[in-house]
Amino acid sequence: MSDFLPVTKIPRTGLPEYALVCGDPRRAQRIAALLDNHREIGSNREYVTYRGQWHGVDLTVSSHGVGGPGAICMFEELAQAGSKTIIRVGTCGGLAPEVEDGDLVIATGTVREDGVSDQLVPVSYPALSTPEVVIALQESAQAVGHAWHRGIVWTKAMFFPGVVESGYSIYVKAGIIAVEMELSALLVMAGLRGVRAGGILVSDGNPVKEPDAEYNPHRDIVEEAVGKSIEVALGAIERLSRSAPVQPNLARPFAFR
């Protein structure tokens, strides 16, 4: 048997309890550069993984690519290798009118249209962030002082629209505050594995407020907010590491294959 897991090429065992994940390998590198003694420990396709320390806390940073079906491969192998707390540091589109470009969104849960979790669990199975992760992210966001919002996020598999109606209006009426592409896959996997999980997202546009605006996530306001989201996520990890250990949930280890 290989010492590395097959999809992500990360070590099969021995990873730290804490992990940050993001879609872009360059963002993973950006986060890792902030850590002490950081080093690359795995690379395959879109999956790049680093290990280091933040204020004495050992953690992993991994990229998972775009979309739930691919991202869940990273989430699952992190859990297999020892990760017990996983926070997604990503981007989103705002849906609530108060979510401005560059604002942070802390997800309490997600609408599951990720293209993969419906093949793992019944449609009635919830995708919920772990409460202590939400609280740690909220406290860290308050300390950073950047604009932030908290609420339910829509995870969907489609990026470029087709002929089917997108469904934005329904979810806006339902109070969904943002839309992204991977978080519900993480939350479902976490529920099955008994892992703590959550997400901190940067709004890089609001298709409800500006439906005709050209999508451009590479603006300064977004890049600056990404830095703030990383700061919030690292602060949350530090807070969680100082808190009393929580009783793990009763989910049994589950093999997707």
Q: Which residues contact 71 (CB under 8 A, 6 or more apart)?
A: 21, 23, 64, 65, 182, 185, 186
How does strand 196-203 pair with strand 57-63?
A: unpaired
- For the annotated catalytic residues, the residue numbers are 204
Q: How many CB atoms lie within 10 A of CB 230?
A: 20
Q: Is 38 left (phi over 0), alpha (psi -120 to 50) or beta?
A: beta
How does strand 196-203 pair with strand 104-113?
A: antiparallel
3-class state of residue 57 by DSSP: strand
Place of tokens 């004495």: 56
- Do 16 and 59 form a contact (C-beta atoms < 8 A)? yes
